[in-house]
């Protein structure tokens, strides 16, 4: 190989190496964000009801739920992480992203299950977990979801199953920040891990 060809070959190798590094870096950055793909026939819901470990473990077992992912939403702080959300100063709540099949599970029924698995009457608290990041909230992606959420809350309050007023927040969805990998499906990885969630036997007047 001539010196000229060797030089060009070296430049090409360096170019390819830099390009590969950039592609890997971009893929790593994307993995930190909202990565779930939603098909046209599927729907998505964003719910917050305390520590997301227990919420995810119960929700993922509901027939019609296709995929779940825990993360942070509801605030204005960019690039939310566990370490800044836990301070309670970011405005974000520990939340659950739920992809579901509307032919098998309606959004309305999903919300009734949501109200069975957490206490919607305690402001910024679930069990021993206290702070704005543990508030009860429904983050809606459409006007239809917002109407359904309001109707379900009225039905839940009218049922009399909860003795105090429902304080669940209804707010438009903004952005979802995927939680760190060790939080995902945490109770599958750690079956004896902490949770304050369970399914209550309640007649909510559906």
Residue 147 lies in a domain: yes
**Does residue 44 sit in the same domain as residue 130?**
yes
Quick one: pLDDT at residue 154? 96
Among 23, 22, 28, 62, smallest CA distance to 45 is for 62
Residue 44 lies in a domain: yes
Domain count, the chain: 2
Domain with 20 in it: 1-31
Quick one: pLDDT at residue 2? 40
Which residues lie closer than 8 Å to 23 by C-beta, 6 or more apart? none
Quick one: pLDDT at residue 6? 41
**Does residue 21 sit in the same domain as residue 111?**
no
Q: Can you state the percent helix, strand and coil of the chain, rounding each to 5?
A: 40, 20, 45
Among 118, 59, 97, 60, smallest CA distance to 179 is for 97
Q: Is residue 26 very low, low, confident or very high in pLDDT (cuts 50, 70, 90)?
A: very low
Spatial separation of the C-alpha atoms in residues 28 and 13, rounded to whole Å? 23
Residue 206 lies in a domain: no
pTM (predicted TM-score): 0.82
**Does residue 26 sit in the same domain as residue 56?**
no
**Does residue 57 sit in the same domain as residue 83?**
yes
**Does residue 9 sit in the same domain as residue 80?**
no
Residue 173 lies in a domain: yes
* Helical spans, DSSP H, in the chain: 3-31, 52-59, 82-85, 107-116, 143-159, 186-189
**Does residue 52 sit in the same domain as residue 143?**
yes
Residue 202 lies in a domain: no
Quick one: pLDDT at residue 63? 97
**Does residue 52 sit in the same domain as residue 25?**
no
* pLDDT tens digits along 7-24: 444 444 444 433 333 333
Residue 119 lies in a domain: yes
- Given a cut of 60, is residue 173 above it in pLDDT? yes
**Does residue 22 sit in the same domain as residue 107?**
no
4 noted as active-site residue = no
Contact 71, 178 (CB under 8 A): yes
* pLDDT tens digits along 30-85: 334 566 667 778 999 999 999 999 999 999 999 999 999 999 999 999 989 999 99
Contact 105, 44 (CB under 8 A): no
- Of 51, 93, 138, 152, the catalytic one is 51
């Amino acid at each position: 190989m001539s010196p000229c060809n060797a030089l060009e070959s070296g430049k090409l190798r360096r170019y390819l190496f830099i390009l590969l590094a950039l592609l890997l870096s971009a893929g790593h950055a994307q993995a930190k964000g909202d990565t779930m793909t939603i098909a046209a026939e599927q729907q998505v819901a964003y719910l917050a009801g305390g520590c997301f470990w227990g919420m995810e473990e119960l929700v993922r077992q509901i027939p019609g739920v296709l995929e779940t992912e825990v993360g942070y939403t509801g605030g204005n702080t960019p690039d939310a992480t566990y370490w800044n959300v836990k301070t309670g100063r970011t405005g974000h709540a520990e939340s659950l992203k739920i992809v579901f099949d509307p032919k098998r599970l309606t959004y309305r029924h999903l919300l009734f299950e949501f109200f069975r698995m957490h206490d919607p009457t305690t402001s910024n608290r679930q069990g021993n977990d206290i702070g704005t990041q543990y508030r009860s909230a429904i983050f809606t992606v459409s006007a239809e979801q917002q109407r359904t959420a309001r109707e379900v809350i009225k039905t839940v309050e009218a049922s009399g199953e909860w003795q105090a007023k429902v304080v669940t927040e209804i707010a438009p969805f903004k952005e979802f920040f995927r939680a760190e990998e060790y939080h995902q499906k945490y109770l599958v990885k750690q079956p004896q891990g902490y949770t304050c969630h369970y399914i209550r036997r309640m007649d909510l007047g559906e």
